[in-house]
Amino acid sequence: MNTQHEADDYLTTHHPESFLLRQIDWTIFGHVGFSKSDSHAKKNTPRTRRFVGLLFGLAADCGVKPRRLVYFQNNEVKPEMDFHHVHFLLGPHGLENFTATGICELLRQKATAFGLENCKFAPYDPTKDGVGYVTKRVFRTLENGQRVETPADFFLSAALRKIIQEKGQT
């Protein structure tokens, strides 16, 4: 088991949401890249629409209502290149009739159809720190050498919020 998240400096390198997300069983770890024009667009709207379209397309192919999908989305930017991308975790809820490999293949097909670039979808591996990866803090180095944290841009699906609330009541 990966216990790296128990290190003393963990909260200086990761957001506290990771503790909530570690309580969830995940099926898929994913990364979605965008075309140069979408990546560099100042508004997040084109990226959000394309990512949500990917998940809604998956839901449609799997016969699941999109609102039932359990996912965590981190809209991240690589500061040095102003390159926007999404890291996400997808739970098995509503997708129990599909293997993780099958879900990854459906996501790859949808990503190709939607023109999404530099995407990676893999079955979630609990021996790796996928939760830590999607909740890591990102810093930008200013011209004077000062490091400034980039604000987190997380999204929790309604189904994920519901599960977290239920876990908090037990």
- Average pLDDT per block of 10 residues along the chain, 170 residues long: 52 72 92 66 68 94 96 77 79 96 97 90 90 81 83 89 81
* Total domains present in the chain: 1
In a domain, 89, yes or no: yes
| Residue 48 near residue 114, CB atoms below 8 Å | no
CB atoms under 10 Å from CB of 43, counted, come to 7
pLDDT the model gives residue 108: 97
In a domain, 13, yes or no: no
In a domain, 149, yes or no: yes
pLDDT the model gives residue 169: 58
In a domain, 66, yes or no: yes
pLDDT the model gives residue 118: 86
pLDDT the model gives residue 70: 97
Domain span at 99: 29-168
In a domain, 140, yes or no: yes
In a domain, 111, yes or no: yes
In a domain, 22, yes or no: no
pTM for the structure as a whole? 0.84
